[in-house]
């Protein structure tokens, strides 16, 4: 599901950059919204 993917993004990208968990979560949400816009109306689970 999307949640698992977002968690892996936080672990793989945000934490190595030295972000706190809260910062990483906010960044991941922004990325997620940008990806949704970019991918248009593909399947949404």
Tokens (6 digits) for 25: 């979560």
* pLDDT tens digits for range 4-39: 666 776 677 656 666 677 887 788 788 888 777 766
Per-residue confidence (pLDDT) for residue 4, from 0 to 100:
66
Tell if the pTM clears 0.95, that is, is over it.
no
CB 45 within 8 A of CB 1: yes
Tokens (6 digits) for 12: 């793989």
């Amino acid at each position: 599901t999307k949640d698992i993917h977002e968690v892996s993004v936080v672990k793989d990208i945000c934490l190595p950059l030295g972000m706190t968990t809260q910062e990483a979560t906010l960044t991941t949400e922004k990325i997620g919204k940008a990806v949704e816009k970019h991918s248009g109306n593909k399947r949404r689970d």
